[in-house]
Structure 1
C-alpha cells in the first residue's frame, strides 16, 4: 500500500464528509495524535484504523481506501440487518469444507495458559473480490 496515496484518499473522505482531522479521529474513536501522525506521513495506517473507517463510514470501499481500486462513495451499500441475519441463519448449521476434519479434535490444549473462555469471537468480516464486504458482529 502506498502511504501517500492512502493519505490522499483519506483527505478525500474528510472533504466528502466535511470533517476536520480531529472530528474524524473522534468519529472513528482513535487518538487525535494518531491521526496527526498518519496525515504527516510519520506513521502508516494500522489494520484496526482502516477497519474503523469502513465500519463508521459505509460509503468507503475497503479496496478503494487501500489500493485506489473501486468507487467512492461505494454503490449498493444498503445491506439490511434482516439480510445479515438471513446469511447468519443459513450458515449457522453448516460446516464449511475448509474446517471439516476427519479425526476428532481434542478440546484439551496441553501446556497453555489459556482457558476456553479467554477468547470470544466478536466480529467476522467477509471480503469479496468485487470490492464489497459484509461485517457480522456478536
Structure 2
C-alpha cells in the first residue's frame, strides 16, 4: 500500500491556508495534523474519513491508493475556486461580521441566508456537519451535528 503522506501534502497545498487551517477545516486537532505531516504518526482511518468528509470533491481512490485524479470534477471553475475554500471558511468564522454588522458572506457578495431561501438556492439542501468558532486568543470550540 502506498503512503498517504504525499497525497495529504498535495491536498494541503491545493486547499491553501496552511496545516492549521486544514486541520480546523476537517475537525482535526492541530497537533495530530502536525504529527502526520512530520511523519511521526501515520494517518488513521478517522483522519482519512475527516479529509473525505471535509473535501467531498476529493476522490477516495486517489487519497487512499494514489489511483486516478485528485478531484472528482476537473472543470476549470472547481480548480480555481477550491483553493480558497479554507480561507473562505476561516473568513466566515473569524468574526460574526465587520464593524458595520455585515456578515462575512455578504461582504464577499454571496447570498445571505434569507435571499437563498427566496431564490431556491441549492445550498438549502445542505446540512451543517460542524461549526467551528476560533477565538482571538487562539482557542476554539467545535460543535458537531448528531446526524
What is the TM-score with the length of structure 1 in the denominator?
0.51
Match of 2:114 in 1: none
Moved over 4 A (4+): none
Return the offset for 1:19.
Answer: 2.3
Partner of 2:51: 53
CA distance in 2, matches of 1:19, 1:13: 11
Structure 2 unpaired stretches of 5+: 75-121, 124-145
C-alpha RMSD of matched pairs (Å): 2.5
Deviations 1:50-72 (A, max 9, x none): 01111110111111001100211
Structure 2 contact 2–66 (Cα < 8 Å) conserved: no
- Quick check: which one's helix share is greater? 2
2:36, 2:2 → 1: CA distance? 13
Native 8 Å contact 2:61 2:67 kept in 1: yes
Aligned positions, number: 80
Aligned match of 1:42 = 40
Flag structure 1 segments of 5+ consecutive residues without an equivalent. Answer: 82-136
CA radius of gyration, larger in: 1
Q: Secondary structure at the match of 2:6?
A: helix
TM-score (norm 2): 0.48
Cα distance, 1:28 vs structure 2: 0.7
Instruction: Decide which of 5, 11, 14 is 1:13's aligned counterpart.
Output: 11
Q: Distance in 2 between matches of 1:20 and 1:31?
A: 14
Task: Provide the residue aligned with 2:141 in structure 1.
Answer: none
